[in-house]
Amino acid sequence: MSKASVLCSYLDGGSGMPTYLLDIIQKHFHIVWLEDFEKDSSKCSNNILAILNVHGQPKVTQSLLERLPNLKLVAVVGVGYNHIDTKLLHSFNVKLSNTPFVLDDATADLGMTLLMAAGRNLCAVKDFAMAPDTTELQFNEVSCDVSSTTLGIVGMGRVGYKVAQRAKGFEMKILYHNRNQRPSVDEKAINATYYKTLNEMLPLCDYVMVTVCLTPETTNIMGAEQFKLMKSTAILVNISRGATVDQDALLKALNGGDIGFAALDVTSPEPLPRDHPLLKARNILITPHVGSATLTTRRKMMQKAMNNVLAAAEGKPLPSEVKL
């Protein structure tokens, strides 16, 4: 019997499927590329068991679902699924899975990388050190401290907790805001102090890192009111989703001196339109949503996505199903 198929967007580049993940897929399944499917869906549509959704591609539309009669699963290679119409999937009796846990370490690492690079002004001093006209060091240029400063974590889930574990090694004071207080054994392990009210925590922080999931409640959780409450030297780091930060308010806060700096791995949309004023702020650092972008992590994510597809093929419970 021939292998079942999975539908993928395209190979390499942009939101395409990276070559370095193909072996994990092809060990079990045949890949149908979207372009070939669009040319002649009749040849392969019956055999497609799952859509592998990478960086939001292929887009899961009603028209696509109507042409996939035996589709069992949309397997998101990532954690966030706010780009998927869950009601639509449910109406087609198609399941949804994602790949939690395996990218927590890499994402927390990137959060700390952004925090430290922002605090120590890394990109600017690197540009200075490597510029063609630099002939003398500048002893009078200084940056912010990292060690022994105060970090406020907004959303103490798995990633937030891992950020705190890392920050503890720098003897940072850890504050956190979360819907629910963590058990005291968890808090003690990272010397963390709970703030039920976000706005009470913010004035105390040298760094604020946003690690919440994007929900209606956390959309724009960092807005004009929050920035006004922060220290004028404070540094905002966002590794959650772009929409957790009110970008118009952030721009005003950065330009008006309400806060000192922002380091964002996520924006809304991604990438920002090239004429977006945040790209012109002098006190910002933006990275292209690379929280999970290490080879090891991406391979773990694909393996986890495959485990879901394999379970769906065999009619077994999915290892990480998103309930619709």
Catalytic residues: 241, 270, 289
CA distances from 308 to 4, 48, 277 (A): 14, 15, 41
The nearest distance, CB 107 to a copy of itself, in angstroms, is 10
The nearest distance, CB 25 to a copy of itself, in angstroms, is 14
Cα–Cα distance measured from residue 63 to residue 74, given in angstroms and rounded to the nearest whole number = 15
Comparing CB distances to a copy of itself, the nearer of 198 and 266 is 266
Q: Which residue has the tokens 């400063």?
A: 149
Binds a copy of itself (CB under 8 A): choice among 39, 42, 63, 132: 132
First to last CA, the chain: 32
Options 85-93, 127-135, 216-224, 245-253: segment touching a copy of itself (CB under 8 A): 127-135
Greatest Cα pair distance, the chain, in angstroms, is: 72
Binds a copy of itself (CB under 8 A): choice among 1, 130, 185, 317: 130
Stretch 168-227 residues interacting with a copy of itself (CB under 8 A): 168-171
Binds a copy of itself (CB under 8 A): choice among 215, 232, 257, 279: 279
One character per residue 222-261, x = contact with a copy of itself (rule: CB under 8 A)? ----------------------------------------
The nearest distance, CB 166 to a copy of itself, in angstroms, is 4
What does 203-260 look like in DSSP terms, one character per residue?
GG-SEEEE-PPP-TTTTT-B-HHHHHHS-TT-EEEE-S-GGGB-HHHHHHHHHHTSSS
Total binding residues toward a copy of itself, as defined by CB under 8 A: 70
**Helix/strand/coil for 158:** helix
Q: Is the dihedral of CA 309, 310, 315, 319 positive or negative?
A: negative
One character per residue 79-108, x = contact with a copy of itself (rule: CB under 8 A)? --------------------------xx-x
Cα–Cα distance measured from residue 223 to residue 203, given in angstroms and rounded to the nearest whole number = 14
Spatial CA neighbour of 177 closest among 193, 163, 166, 164: 193
Stretch 24-63 residues interacting with a copy of itself (CB under 8 A): 54-55
Please report whether residue 167 would count as binding a copy of itself according to CB under 8 A.
yes
Options 42-50, 88-96, 210-218, 271-279: segment touching a copy of itself (CB under 8 A): 271-279
Residue 322 in tokens: 């998103």
Spatial CA neighbour of 152 closest among 93, 192, 189: 192
The nearest distance, CB 272 to a copy of itself, in angstroms, is 9
What does 299-313 look like in DSSP terms, one character per residue?
HHHHHHHHHHHHHHH
Per CB under 8 A, residues contacting a copy of itself are 12-20, 54-55, 105-106, 108-110, 112-114, 116-117, 119-120, 122-123, 125-126, 128-130, 132-148, 165-171, 270-271, 274, 279, 285-290, 293-298
